[in-house]
């Protein structure tokens, strides 16, 4: 297991290099001049040239990329073009709220998704199964921004239970976490149902029932554990996407996360912040995939990485 983890960690380097190259060229393909964003629309050509020289924007793109890589390797992540603050400080202040939102949303998604999926699998083709899967289908199809606005209108404007936007107390987290968690819960519910139905048809489940074991023990102890592999997979992927910053949800609820930071930075042509934000998100995805692979071995003792 240790050798497998080390091999996976070594592969992180070429993946991050590939991501950095793609992001570097894509952000520079967007129309607009970051020097004019810094200096203002009324800036003279002389001032624009000084700004380009200060931030290295007058160099050819491949030279800018090599400078970027060199700075990252030496621990210098640059300064934000928009705020003039160090990029690492910009990301540090935003990563906490994103993790908080992702964990809250994932708690909602796992609880609702797994519970609904198990109930649907235990009672297939019943009204419980039909209603649950219909709600799951609606949850997958529902636009996140529209759901967030509806929650805001109902629970904030009409009922006045929760704040409309911002971050502060636990009350600020409820609506964004519900909005983001419900779509993931729908995906997890459908995967849980599918996996549980396949396991519940196995011979050892019929044997357990023939031996007189309680249905609760059969479902939770025997069937659910053997159905965990695909559930862990889809849950890990969903959590990775949430950590990457739910851009729409953070924008609707004015949540100060890394997704909103990337949107603001793209609009402002803030190259250093966009590049490092995407690298942080890519690193989060890679590490989460590694954690999911490790969890496989604990969920299924037959899996070995030797």
pLDDT digits (tens, 9 = 90+) for 21-68: 887 777 777 766 667 666 666 667 777 777 777 767 677 777 778 877
Instruction: Give every CB contact of residue 50 below 8 A, 6+ residues apart in sequence.
Output: none
Average per-residue pLDDT in the chain? 78
| Average pLDDT of the segment spanning 285-305 | 71
When pLDDT is cut at 50, 70 and 90, the band that residue 263 belongs to is: confident
Alpha-helical regions (H) of the chain: 2-29, 34-39, 45-55, 61-73, 87-122, 127-141, 144-151, 170-200, 203-210, 215-217, 224-226, 228-243, 247-252, 258-267, 271-299
Instruction: Please check whether the domain covering 87-299 is classified as CATH 2.60.120.380.
Output: no
pLDDT in tens, 68-93: 788 777 877 777 877 778 888 888 88
Count of beta carbons in the 10 Å neighbourhood of residue 190: 21
| Average pLDDT of the segment spanning 138-145 | 77
Count of beta carbons in the 10 Å neighbourhood of residue 302: 6
């Amino acid at each position: 297991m240790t050798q497998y983890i080390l091999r996976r960690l070594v592969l992180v380097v070429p993946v991050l290099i590939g991501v950095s190259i793609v992001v570097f060229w894509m952000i520079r393909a967007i129309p607009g001049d970051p020097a004019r964003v810094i200096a203002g629309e009324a800036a003279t050509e002389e001032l624009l040239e000084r700004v380009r020289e200060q931030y290295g924007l007058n160099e050819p793109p491949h030279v800018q990329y090599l400078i970027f890589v060199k700075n990252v390797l030496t621990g210098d992540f640059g300064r934000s073009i928009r705020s003039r603050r160090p990029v690492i400080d910009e990301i540090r202040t935003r990563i906490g709220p994103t993790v908080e939102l992702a964990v809250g949303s994932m708690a909602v998604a796992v609880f609702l998704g797994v519970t609904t999926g198990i109930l649907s699998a235990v009672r297939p083709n019943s009204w419980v199964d039909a209603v649950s899967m219909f709600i799951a289908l609606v949850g997958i199809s529902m636009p996140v921004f529209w759901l967030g606005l509806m929650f805001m209108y109902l629970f904030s404007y009409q009922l006045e239970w929760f704040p409309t936007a911002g971050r502060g107390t636990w009350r600020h987290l409820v609506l964004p976490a519900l909005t983001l968690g419900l779509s993931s819960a729908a995906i997890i519910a459908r995967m849980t149902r599918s996996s549980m139905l396949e396991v519940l048809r196995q011979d050892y489940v019929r044997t357990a029932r023939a031996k007189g074991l309680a249905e609760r023990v059969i479902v939770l102890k025997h069937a659910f554990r053997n159905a965990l592999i695909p559930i862990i997979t889809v849950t890990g992927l969903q959590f990775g996407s949430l950590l990457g910053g739910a851009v729409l949800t953070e924008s609707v609820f004015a949540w100060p996360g890394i997704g909103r930071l990337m949107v603001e930075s793209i609009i402002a042509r803030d190259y250093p912040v966009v590049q490092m934000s995407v690298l942080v998100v890519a690193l989060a995805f890679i590490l989460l995939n590694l954690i999911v692979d490790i969890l496989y071995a604990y969920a299924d003792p037959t899996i070995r990485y030797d």
